[in-house]
Amino acid sequence: MDHGFGIESPGEHTHTPHRKPTRYLVVIDAAGSTIARLFLESREQVAEVDAGAEEVALMTRGLQPASGALGEEWDRALQGHTTAERRTADVYTLDVDAAAHAARLGPAG
Q: Is residue 52 part of a domain?
A: yes
State the total domains in the chain: 1
The whole model's pTM is what? 0.73
Q: What is the C-alpha radius of gyration for the chain, rounded to an integer number of angstroms?
A: 19
* Res. 88: pLDDT tops 90: yes
The answer to whether 46 touches 22, Cβ cutoff 8 Å, is yes
Short-list 92, 83, 93, CA closest to 29 = 83
More confident position, 15 or 52? 52
- Domain containing 35 equals 24-105
Percent of the chain residues past pLDDT 90, beyond the cut: 63
Helices (H), 1-109: 54-60, 83-87, 96-105
Q: Is 11 helix (H, G, I), strand (E, B) or coil?
A: coil
Give CA separation, 13 vs 9, 10, 56, in Å: 12, 8, 32
Q: What is the mean pLDDT of residues 10-37?
A: 88
Q: What is the mean pLDDT of residues 85-106?
A: 74
